[in-house]
């Protein structure tokens, strides 16, 4: 959602009504969702300034200002934080497993978000899709991440909230398991791809990993018994 500071600025500085201000922000959000960015043709800043200019023109027909974009960007980054319980979970997990943050998107935009939420200390490595030849769900970027961590794909678990990029990508790359973060607890009906595990909160992840480990140990025990009986 558009930060309240941006709504207020559009009303006070640019004298738009509250309805107009919210309509402009809604249009910008829609443009962000459909955004196709080619770094070779235009920098991300110019592209997003154009979103605001177009949204203002489409709503009230006037000229947009760069100020709107920079205010939106600043307030957006200020609100990016890692919750305390999430930081504690990552700290504990990292004692047992290697952690890598993988995100699609433009290099500049994603690096700014990463810096704003100060999440670097909680991961062994961070990979931004815009810096690679291919992004999720291409297998190549997942294999690159595995190489960075020094693990095989069959030893790696992908956790993400996107079925199309995170889960499908993990399956494409032949990872050990995929865990879908489904905050809305949307019911899957004949949906592809199908994740191995589903959680409603990232804080449920340690329990899922423990269950995964238990299942593997149980299978190894069964296989050992089968081979002993042969």
Q: Model confidence over 93-140: pLDDT tens digits?
A: 999 999 999 999 889 889 989 999 999 999 999 999 999 999 999 999
How far apart CA 43 and CA 53 sit, in angstroms, is 16
Helix (H) or strand (E) holding 177: strand 177-181
**10/78 Cα distance (integer angstroms):** 19
Average pLDDT, the chain: 86
DSSP string, 178-211: EEEE-TT-PPPSS-SS--SEEESSGGGHHHHHHH
For the residues 33-53, what does the mean pLDDT come to? 81
Q: CA–CA separation, 77 vs 123, rounded Å?
A: 20
Instruction: Break the chain into its structural domains and give their ranges.
Output: 4-79, 84-226
Q: What sections of 34-100 are H helices per DSSP? A: 44-60, 66-78, 84-93
| CATH architecture of residue range(s) 84-226 | 3-Layer(aba) Sandwich (3.40)
The position carrying tokens 């449920």 is: 204
Tell me: pLDDT of 53 over 70.
yes
Distances 86 to 100, 159, 205 between C-alpha atoms, Å: 15, 14, 10
Per DSSP, the three-state class of 91 is: helix
Q: What is the pLDDT of residue 61?
A: 67
CATH architecture assignment, domain 4-79: Up-down Bundle (1.20)
pTM of the model: 0.70
What pLDDT is recorded for position 164?
Answer: 93
Give the whole-angstrom CA distance, residue 55 versus residue 49: 10
- Which positions ≥6 away from 17 have C-beta within 8 Å? 11
- Of 50-59, 71-80, 127-136, 186-195, the range with the highest mean pLDDT is 127-136
Instruction: Band the pLDDT of 223: cuts 50, 70, 90.
Output: low
């Amino acid at each position: 959602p558009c930060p309240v500071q941006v709504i207020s600025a559009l009303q006070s500085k640019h004298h738009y009504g509250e309805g107009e201000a919210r309509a402009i922000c809604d249009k910008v959000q829609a443009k962000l969702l459909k955004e196709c960015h080619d770094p070779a043709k235009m920098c991300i800043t110019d592209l997003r300034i154009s979103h605001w200019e177009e949204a203002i023109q489409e709503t009230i027909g006037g000229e947009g200002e760069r100020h709107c974009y920079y205010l939106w960007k600043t307030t957006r980054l200020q609100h990016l934080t890692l919750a305390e319980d999430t930081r504690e979970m990552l700290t504990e997990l990292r004692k047992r497993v290697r952690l890598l943050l993988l995100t699609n998107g433009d290099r500049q935009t994603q690096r700014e978000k990463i810096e704003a939420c100060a999440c670097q200390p909680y991961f062994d490595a961070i990979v931004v899709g815009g810096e690679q030849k291919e992004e999720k769900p291409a297998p190549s970027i997942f294999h690159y991440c595995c190489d960075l961590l020094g693990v095989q794909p069959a030893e790696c678990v992908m956790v993400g909230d996107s079925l199309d990029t995170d889960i499908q990508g993990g399956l494409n790359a032949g990872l050990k398991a995929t865990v879908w973060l489904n905050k809305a607890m949307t019911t899957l009906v004949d949906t592809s791809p199908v994740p191995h595990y589903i959680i409603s909160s990232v804080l449920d992840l340690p329990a899922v990993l423990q269950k995964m480990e238990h299942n593997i140990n149980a299978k190894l025990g069964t296989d050992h018994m089968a081979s002993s009986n042969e």
